[in-house]
Structure 1
Amino acid sequence: MIEKNMLISELLEKDERAAAILAQAGMHCIGCAAAGGETIEEAALEHGLDPVLLVRKLNLYLNRQV
């Protein structure tokens, strides 16, 4: 289960497929050093995204695919 207080680095460690969702949402800097220490919520807000909707999208995507 993905949560908004999870670090981007933890998210990508848990499932690297999440990078595609983040990039699709406009978060193309997920590989930068600062991004790894940010939470999903912090990164979403910096990019003008709703963190709750982003987390829902991540959970739906990652739980649907094998």
Structure 2
Amino acid sequence: MINKDMTIREVLQKNPKTAEVLMKYGMHCLGCPSATGESVGQAAAVHGVDADKLVEDLNKLFED
């Protein structure tokens, strides 16, 4: 499961398809060293998105 404290790098390592969800939320710099070191919560704040909704959408990828 994904949570707000995980780094973007950790999320991408768990499932590369999470990149599609992150990009849908405007997070296009997924390869940037600073971006991948940010937590999901930090990245959501920077991009002005609801962190809880982002985490919910990321976790949907693991339901199947």
TM range (shorter): over 0.9
The whole-number CA distance in structure 2 between the counterparts of 1:8 and 1:22 is 9
Cα drift, residue 31 of structure 1: 1.1
Residue 44 (structure 2) aligns with: 44
Q: How many residues align?
A: 64
Does 2:56 align with 1:56?
A: yes
Letter of the 2:28 partner, please give it: H
State TM-score, norm by structure 1.
Answer: 0.90
Q: Return the alpha-carbon distance in structure 1 between the equivalents of residues 4 and 24 of structure 2.
A: 17
In structure 1, distance between residues paired with 2:62 and 2:13: 16
Amino acid at match of 1:5: D
The TM-score, its normalising length taken from structure 2, stands at 0.93
Q: Which residue of structure 2 aligns with residue 4 of structure 1?
A: 4
Let me know the Cα RMSD of the aligned residues: 1.0
Alignment of 1:7-46 (within 5 A): 7-46=7-46
Runs of 4+ that moved beyond 6 A? none
Structure 2's unaligned 5+ residue stretches are: none
Q: Percent identity?
A: 45
Q: Give 5+ residue unaligned stretches, structure 1.
A: none
